[in-house]
A and B are shown apart, each in its own frame.
Chain A
Amino acid sequence: MTTSTSQWETVIGLEIHTQLATKSKIFSGASTAYGAEPNTQACAVDLGLPGVLPVLNKEAVRMAVIFGMAIEAQIAPYSVFARKNYFYPDLPKGYQISQFELPIVGNGHLDIEVDGATKRIGITRAHLEEDAGKSLHENFHGLTGIDLNRAGTPLLEIVSEPDMRSAKEAVAYMRKLHELVRYLGICDGNMQEGSFRCDANVSVRPKGQKEFGTRAEIKNINSFKFVEKAINHEVERQIELLESGGKVVQETRLYDSVKDETRSMRSKEEANDYRYFPDPDLLPVFIDEDFKTEIKAALPELPDAKKQRFKDSYGLDEESATILTSSRPLADYFEAVVKASASEAKLCANWITGELSAALNKAGLDITESPVSHERLAGLLARISDETISGKIAKQVFEELWQGSSTADDIIAAKGLKQITDTGAIEAIIDKIIADNPGQVEQYRSGKDKVFGFFVGQVMKEMQGKASPGEVNKMLKDKLK
């Protein structure tokens, strides 16, 4: 199968539903908190009882506008809610309130990086809509149980252009978007709880062909790993089908992560079948300049801009800058450490992306839960910078910082870890090492430079790491001449 893959080009567009992090629902005052007892957060509006009217949540609108600004999109001054009609028991009204012809956000973009190259992915639109409830199919004597707590939760559906050409690009786009919505604070990004869900439109076409092939929509792919696998599987299925003379049918397919395959769910409805029309219960949404100005002023520095600034003003490399700007709390932590320690930014970056991140990962903690506050880490880095301790000893001190609550200075004083700057003491040890190892001295002097490392190691060991390696190097070179 893989032999012929190269004659085909994959075309992917993603529809991502992000649950907006509001306190209350998009059209009612019921809570959106996750995990409540079934139907305890479903009010008369969410249930679609007769006589109720939806009232739009300002915060949901604000979040949609923030997102639009972050992807440099057009914010519609005038947008309209429409009814999308279909019948399913977890949709009590018989229609979902969504946006169709006039969405709130249109025509933006997101830049992704794949294999070192930057690619711009178009975002066709992002529109506000309400989520449906949940159906539970098990254990109700052949009946289906309905929980409407999720009904009416605000969603921003973000629709990309069919600009991606591989599963890898699709994953890169999804990750970048996931990072962005969390960064903006408009979505908690929790994929397990369904706060960030992805549907993929996948088609293939012979290389060089202009028209798109018939696409299938894959639903229910709720992890980065599954997106890649589901798309790759679907591409293979379509190529196999086309090469054996078959035709791809436009349909919705469900990804089964256990069997690693997609299977047909239902033939895809045409937009016509949903009988969209403007919702007479809701007036058009008008977004004026004042509202936009207010939001723009409060907009945080965006990840890409921050990354560039980290590279320009702190001299960080691409990798460190990317990691440190992947979340706002992490970026803030880094800048706080640089400021408090007055140390070189690169040193701070190395410690945060290295030692600290490793410890956090191991403990399963987020940067906001770090037992080592930015002040305490800064205290440690300041002592490396002024050469009170070596990098090696610093790792030991870091362990203590992680375990307890003392400051780096207290730990250094209590454990006598201060670097030995008394050149006389270092000299004495060097003399001793040279005297004890005449063979190695001979080798070094006859031109085997590699042996030098042996001497440095011996001296540092003797001094329990408490000497400046630079100083030791210099003195050793003199002595071994």
Chain B
Amino acid sequence: MSLTVDDVKKIAHLARLGIDTRDIESYTVDLSGMLDLMTQMSNLDTRDVAPMAHPMDQVQRLRTDAVTEADNREQFQAIAPQTEAGLYLVPKVIE
């Protein structure tokens, strides 16, 4: 599978990565190579292999439903760039 320059731009946009336009060409080659490796793996016969959701063969432990966390807003907001009326302030985002 071979990616186009536009594919790379789209992936970068989705991941909110600012990439240097001069590097796009080499990313295209490298990422295509990785996808080729995936394709190669896809060709393996895995009919008898159960899909793995986690490398450790264990199951999730569950927590009792109880409130255990106290209010630490002051501490958390001490490291926030900007706050007001208890809210975190961020640049306006409206689609």
| A residues with CB within 8 A of B | 22-24, 28-31, 37-44, 47, 49, 55-61, 80, 85, 87-89, 102, 135-137, 140, 142-148, 265-266, 273, 275, 278, 280, 282-286
Contact = CB atoms under 8 A, between A and B. Distances in A.
A284 B59 contact: yes
Contacts, number: 125
Q: What 5 pairs across the A-B complex have the smallest Cβ distances? A: A29-B68, A145-B87, A59-B65, A58-B62, A38-B86
B42 interface: no
Contacts of B16: 87
A42 B87 CA distance: 11
Contact of A148 (B68, B69, B88): B88
Interface of B: 14-16, 53-54, 56, 58-69, 71-73, 76-77, 82, 84-95
B94 to A, nearest CB: 6
Given A58-B63, A102-B53, A30 B89 contact: no
Contact of B67 (A29, A55, A60, A89): A29
Contact of A140 (B54, B62, B73, B89): B89
A284 B53 contact: yes
B86 A39 contact: yes
Contact of B65 (A23, A146, A266): A23
A87 B65 CA distance: 29
Contacts of A23: 65-67
A284 B60 contact: yes
B92 A142 contact: yes
Given A29-B66, A38-B87, A56 B71 contact: no
A29 B69 contact: yes
B39 to A, nearest CB: 17
Contacts of A42: 73, 76
A39 B60 contact: no
